[in-house]
Amino acid sequence: MYSSDNNNLHDHKIEAKQILELIESLGDDKLTAFFKQMDYTEDEKLLYLYQKLYITPKYDKDGKLLPVSETDQLAAVNEYSQAIGYIKNPSEDVQLAAVNKEPYAIQYIKNPSEKIQLAAVNENPYAIEYIKNPSKKVQLAVVNTYGGAIRHIKNPSEKVQLDAVIQDGLALYCIIKKGIIPSEDVQLAAVNENGEAIQFIQNPSEDVQLAAVNKDSDAIYDIKNPSEKVKQLAREKGIKDV
């Protein structure tokens, strides 16, 4: 909500040169909302963009304000990656520069291509949190690096689940936490990577129990009512109190 002073400003035409003063006096959130209220000229909007990109405004020989060049856009995002959020329809090169500088800058890019998505998650897999509807290729790239990042993927396919637990068996927890009942193949892959993953499985089959204990004999303590065959395997691996 704006103060009376801000409402009074709305009643007057703001000259292009005054936009810089206004930007300095208001916070970003207020300025963005205020900017939408005003009937700004293209020059005023352009001055706003120059300011947000930390670029000195450029004029032609007749004193006309020039559009922000791609070179300047690249310089801006290489210095301050979040600047991508102020650029309307940035080129792919500018988008790439932004996510290479800071992968989380992808949150400021509308509808990033698969190429941009991959560039971001290859720099930091957890950037997937800020990608709406990442492609399967992007999902796989992420979980093959950090299985636990599956927590940021909605409705992961069985293939994505498998790759996640193969990379990190404890990623099974993230899958189950989503309300997904993992298949036995996913359960086996998880305990084969880390026997402790069996603690997250309700009523694991004997095959899953055996795989867990074979991987880590202490996993026997995470199994309720292990079968005699599973107990025998644990004893063979040095566990005497079962």
More confident residue, 106 or 65: 106
What is the pTM (predicted TM-score) of this model? 0.74
User: What's the average model confidence in pLDDT over 100-110?
Assistant: 94
**Which residue type, as a one-letter code, is found at position 215?**
K
- The vertex-82 CA angle with 77 and 88, nearest 5°, equals 75
The residues pairing with 59 across neighbouring beta strands, listed in sequence order, are 65
* H or E element at residue 67: none
Residue 106 near residue 99 (C-beta atoms within 8 A): yes
Distance, CA of 3 to CA of 127 (rounded, Å) = 37
Give the dihedral of Cα atoms 161, 213, 201, 170; nearest 10 deg: -40
Confidence band (pLDDT; 50, 70, 90) for 29? low
| Domain extents in the chain | 1-68, 83-133, 135-242
pLDDT at 44: 73
pLDDT at 38: 56
Q: Give the pLDDT confidence of 35-90 residue by residue, as tens digits.
A: 555 566 777 777 777 787 777 888 888 888 888 889 989 988 998 888 898 888 89
Q: Give the pLDDT confidence of 185-226 residue by residue, as tens digits.
A: 999 999 999 999 999 999 999 999 999 999 999 999 999 999
The backbone torsions φ and ψ at residue 15, rounded to the nearest 5 degrees and listed phi first, read: -70, 155
Kindly tell me the burial class for residue 156, based on how many C-beta atoms sit within 10 Å of its own C-beta (0-12, 13-18, 19 or more): buried
What's the sign of the alpha-carbon dihedral 39, 45, 48, 49? positive
Q: Give the pLDDT confidence of 121-170 residue by residue, as tens digits.
A: 999 999 999 999 999 999 999 999 999 999 999 999 999 999 999 999 99
Note the Cα 98 to chain centre separation in Å: 14
Of 38, 47, 28, the closest CA to residue 7 belongs to 38
pLDDT at 16: 44
pLDDT at 18: 55
Distance, CA of 74 to CA of 96 (rounded, Å) = 9
CA distances from 114 to 3, 6, 103, 135, 210 (A): 44, 42, 14, 7, 41
| Cα radius of gyration (the chain) | 27
Give the dihedral of Cα atoms 154, 159, 163, 165; nearest 10 deg: 70
User: What's the average model confidence in pLDDT over 170-197?
Assistant: 97
Kindly tell me the burial class for residue 187, based on how many C-beta atoms sit within 10 Å of its own C-beta (0-12, 13-18, 19 or more): buried
Distance, CA of 65 to CA of 10 (rounded, Å) = 24
Distance, CA of 147 to CA of 153 (rounded, Å) = 11
